[in-house]
């Protein structure tokens, strides 16, 4: 939970999610030639996303407010 110190009525929730997913990727140029990736190879991808939702805006929805780069291990 975050609070705007200048206006204590402005409070918002913040949620950080780590997402681990196996993904396939392949990119092509305008001629259809593969320029990156391999559609047959799975790669484990780790994303960390930060969402927030205000409590002072009626009908507010969760929104993506940031992405954290995972440290290389």
| Per-domain residue ranges of the chain | 2-68
C-alpha distances out from residue 24 to 12, 13, 55, Å: 36, 33, 38
Phi, psi of 33 (to 5 degrees): -80, 145
> Can you give the pLDDT of all 73 residues of the chain as single tens digits?
677 778 877 888 899 999 999 999 999 999 999 999 999 999 999 999 999 998 888 899 999 999 998 876 5
For 52, residues 6+ apart whose C-beta sits below 8 A from its C-beta are: 2, 12, 13, 14, 15, 62, 63, 65
CATH of 2-68, one of 3.30.2270.10, 3.10.450.240, 3.40.50.300, 1.10.760.10: 3.10.450.240
């Amino acid at each position: 939970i975050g609070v705007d110190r200048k206006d204590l009525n402005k409070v918002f929730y913040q949620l950080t999610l780590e997402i681990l997913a196996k993904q396939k990727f392949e990119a092509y140029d305008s001629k259809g030639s593969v320029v990156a990736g391999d559609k047959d190879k799975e790669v484990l991808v780790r994303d960390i996303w930060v969402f927030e939702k205000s409590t002072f805006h009626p009908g507010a929805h969760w929104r993506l407010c940031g992405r954290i780069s995972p440290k290389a291990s």
